[in-house]
Amino acid sequence: MKFDNLDLYAALMHELKNNLGLLIMTLDTIPVQGHPDHDQPLDEARLLSQRSVERLQQALLIYKADSGELHPVVDAYAPVEMLRELRDTAQSLARDRLHVDTLVGDQVPTLWFFDRSLVEMALINAIHNSLAHSRSRLRIEADMVDGCLAYTVRDDSAGYPDHILAYGSGGSGHGSAGTGLGLRFARLIAEAHDNNGRHGELRLFNEEGAVFRFLLP
C-alpha cells in the first residue's frame, strides 16, 4: 500500500504523470488568441500531453489490477451531471474541429452507484479516441440498457477495425495484435464494477462509425 512497497517503475510513472499534469494545467492557463499560428500548436500540445497522462494513468491502473488492487470505491452520483462534465471536457478538447452533442434517456435515474473517477477515465479515453478518428462529430449518451446505466460514445469514424471488434464482442482480446491499452483498461474498469454478482461490461460495435458502450450494473 505504501510508497516503499510500490515498485520503482510505478513510482516513476506517478512522478511523470504528476509533472505532466502540472504541464497541462499550465498550458490551460494560456489564453487562445484566435490566430491559428498560436492556437493550433497550443491545442496540439494540450491534446498530446492529455493523451500521455492518460497513458500513464492506464498503465498504473493496469499495474494495480494485476496486483489485485483495483477496488472501485462506489458512491452515489448523478448520471446527468457526469454526462454534462464529459460533454464540457469533450467540447473544450474539440474546440471547433468537431461537433459534440449529448443525449440522455428518459429512463435514466437521478442517482446511480459507481466509482466516478475510474469510470470517467475510461470514458475520457473513448472520447480521445473519437477525437482522433472521427470525421466531423461525436455524441455522448446516457441511457438504460439491459438494466444497466450505459454511457455510449459514438462518432462518424471509419469504425473499429475487425480485430478490435472481435475483442469487443468477448473475443480473447489479450495478446491480439493492435489491441490498445485504452480499451483493455476500459474493460477492466467496467468488469471491476459489481452489483450483487452482476458485473459491468464494455461493448464495442460499429454503426455509422465506432460505438463505445460502457455498462454499469
Partner 1 sequence: MSLKAIKGDEHTINYGTLRALVVDDYPGMRSALKLTLSNFGISRIDLAGSAAEVIFKVGNNHYDLILCDFNLGEGRDGQQLLEELRHRGLIKLETVFVMVTAESVYEKVVATAELAPDDYMIKPFSAEVMRNRLETILMRKLAFAKVYQHFEAHELDLALLACDALIRDYPRYLVDALRFKGEVLNTMGRFDEAEALYRQVISLRAIPWARLGLAKALHHQKKDEEAEELLHDVMEKTPEMVSAYDLLAEVRLNQNDSAGAQEALLKGVSISAKTVRRQQKLGDIAHERGDLDIARNAYSAVLEKGQHSVFVSPADFGNLCRVQVDQGDVGAAMDTLKRNRSLLGSSPEGQLVSAVVQSLAHTKAGKPEEAKKALEEANRLRRGVQRIDERIMLDMAGAFMTHGQHAEADAIVSEVARNAHDSETLLAKARKLYEESGRGEAGNKVLSEATADVRKLNNDSVILAHKGDYKGASEKLLTACRVAPFNTRILMNTIWVLIKRLHSDGMDHELLDEAIRLLGEVEKQSPGHARLVDLKSKLRDVEHHFGIRRKAP
Ligand X SMILES: Nc1ncnc2c1ncn2[C@@H]1O[C@H](COP(=O)(O)OP(=O)(O)OP(=O)(O)O)[C@@H](O)[C@H]1O
The residues binding Mg ion (CB under 5 A) are: 129, 182
Residue nearest to ligand X as judged by C-beta position? 180
**Residue 94: all three cell numbers together:** 474539440
Q: Which amino acid is at 180?
A: G
Per-residue mark of binding to ligand X, 161-180 (x: CB under 6 A): x--x---------------x
Q: Which of residues 10-49 bind ligand X (CB under 6 A)?
A: none
Total Cβ atoms within 10 A of residue 81: 12
Q: Nearest distance from residue 138's CB to ligand X, in Å?
A: 8
CB 182 within 8 A of CB 129: yes
Q: How far apart are CA 165 and CA 181, in angstroms?
A: 15
- Which CB atom, from 87 or from 133, has the smaller least distance to partner 1? 87
Q: For residue 86, which of 55, 123, 128, 135 has the smallest C-alpha distance? A: 123
Residue 129 as a binder of ligand X (CB under 6 A): the answer is yes
- Which CB atom, from 90 or from 164, has the smaller least distance to partner 1? 90
Q: Which amino acid is at 189?
A: I
Chosen from partner 1, Mg ion, ligand X, none, partner binding at 172 (C-beta under 5 to 8 Å by type): none
What number of chain residues touch ligand X (CB under 6 A)? 16
Q: How far apart are CA 46 and CA 52, in angstroms?
A: 10
Q: How far apart are CA 213 and CA 183, in angstroms?
A: 11
Residues forming contacts to ligand X in the complex (CB under 6 A) are 125, 129-130, 132-133, 155, 157, 159-161, 164, 180-183, 210
